[in-house]
Amino acid sequence: MALVSSVSLSFVTQFKTKPLIVCAPGRINFIGEHVDYNEGFVLPAAIDREMVFAIGKSGHDRCNVYSHDLEEGVSFSIHDLNSGETWVNYLMGVLDGFERRGLPVHGVDCVFGGNIPLGAGLSSSAALCCGFAFAVNQLFKCKLSKLELAKIAQYAEHEFAGLQCGIMDQYASLFGVKGAALLLDCRALTHEVVPVDLKEHSILLIDTKVKHSLAATAYNDRREACEEGVRILHKKNPSVNSLRDVSTTVLYENQDALGDEVFIRCLFVVEEMKRTQLGAGMLRKNDVKAFGELMYQTHWGLSQSYEVSCAELDFLVSLAEEDKKWIVGSRMMGGGFGGCTLNIIDNSYVKVFQEKVLHQYLATFKKEPDFYLVNLADGVRIGS
């Protein structure tokens, strides 16, 4: 509520009118990493960290947007959406997505701010794009569905920020359900709500403070390796259009044709798709311990096969494994090369583990991690 109040007050101070308030959450992903762009299943959830937008029509074709957190603003014409190098890229990309659909959008006045840690793998950029798209849709009565808004938000990240991301982050931000995860079919773009009852456990995120920019890392290289694998397999079997269509048996049969690196990348993805569906079933049965074991498997697959981890992430997961009695699951989360680990931890052990991590991580890496306890929240919504 404090965030909503401060963003709203900033808007009223600058623009002298009452705004529409929109709240857009960040997300975690329980399991199913680097699977969304391969048309598999993922298990994300919206969290109670969010971007808040105060927005109104400007009455002309100029957009005046102010970042409450950075204390900086930009002004641009809706007819001059040229991508640059700052956060404004994402907002321009959203507006361009509406224009390409021939929708009647005009200039806006907007103030936004958030409490999603940047660079932590919690999809602050997706929250920014989804919240802004939802707000524009409301203001100009465009009547787009949440799925269309997710596609516009994804387009904004692709075309204006240069990141070939899947649609999971945007989908989770828009469709999230309090107290639940979404078993998202990234081919059909449909989902099943999976209630998450962790009983005596909490979700603890530990931020390595290694800040990553996915567009500047090997994310796109991993995606290209998967696409190369599909091209090779499609030549032999035209029914293969994504790794969703591939079994581990088929991969092993074509190992020589794929080559070592492409084979290993594709094998991780196919196995991760299986883990995700298994994991959803375990959550439905409230088998938190078994689910946690899959999380550990995912982490070491990401680290050793997909090679998107880093020393800091591996260190934190190794510490968690030393205390499996209390930390039933731990893994790196997000695109990789930094960000957070996600830990399912016994409530009674949270403070003890935080102290252990703080001491050992600081001694090893000469920096302090951050800790975030999060709850599962609803998706993008109108605030008050």
Name the residues annotated as catalytic.
Answer: 169
Give the Å distances, CA to CA, from 178 to 31, 150, 197, 207, 375.
Answer: 18, 19, 11, 23, 8
End-to-end Cα, the chain, rounded Å: 9
Residue 299 is given by DSSP the state: H
Tokens representing residue 288 in the block: 């938190």
For residue 118, count other CB atoms closer than 10 A to its CB: 11
Residue of 380, 381, 372, 379 lying closest to 121 (CA atoms) = 372
Residue of 343, 338, 365 lying closest to 354 (CA atoms) = 343
Residue 376 is given by DSSP the state: B
CA dist 357 and 353 (Å) reads 6
CA dist 344 and 338 (Å) reads 19
Residue of 162, 269, 159 lying closest to 214 (CA atoms) = 162
